Amino acid sequence: MTKKKSPKSTSNTIALNKKARHEYSLHDKFEAGMELQGWEVKSIRAGKVNISDTYIHLKDGEAFLLGSQIQPLNSASTHVVCDPMRYRRLLLSRRELDRLVGAVEREGFSLIATAMYWKKCWVKLEFYLAKGKKLHDKRADIKERDWARDKDRLMKHQAK
């Protein structure tokens, strides 16, 4: 007799930065691996991650994740000194790093993290080249979103 496996959760998402789409206009999407310690992986599996005020800093030809919080578990980090706000190195190819450096230094872009998720057994970070929005840009986006919602309602009633 074979045992049936319990269904796994279909979502691989660990954490989201929902504010990023409102605060920034997002342009190019990138995906990077992260250099993590053992206690951090255990905390991530437990869901103790916050990337709401996270951005990427480029220094000496490497990319580092700043502002992310990974709260240590009491049981997993008894023998290790844990820093929940430490800089975490991102694993990117040389070509991607050169492209990012050029965009940040010459064109004035920022690098904003939007999501952290599992890809097979690795933790990946999704981030974008972004430019900050002004207040009037945010208002225009809100108006467009409201109009799209009203338009959908009108079309739904006309279809009936």
- Which pTM was predicted? 0.75
10-64 pLDDT, tens digit per residue, is 678 999 998 888 888 889 999 999 999 888 898 999 988 999 988 899 999 899 9
Interatomic CA distance for residues 132 and 127, integer angstroms: 14
For the chain, the structural domain boundaries read 13-133
Per-residue confidence (pLDDT) for residue 108, from 0 to 100: 83
Q: How confident is the model at residue 78 (pLDDT cuts 50, 70, 90)?
A: low
Q: What is the chain's length? A: 160
Interatomic CA distance for residues 52 and 153, integer angstroms: 32
Per-residue confidence (pLDDT) for residue 4, from 0 to 100: 55
79-112 pLDDT, tens digit per residue, is 777 888 889 999 999 999 999 999 998 888 899 9
Place of tokens 């319990």: 6
Please tell me the CATH superfamily of domain 13-133, with its number.
Answer: Small protein B (2.40.280.10)
Per-residue confidence (pLDDT) for residue 2, from 0 to 100: 55
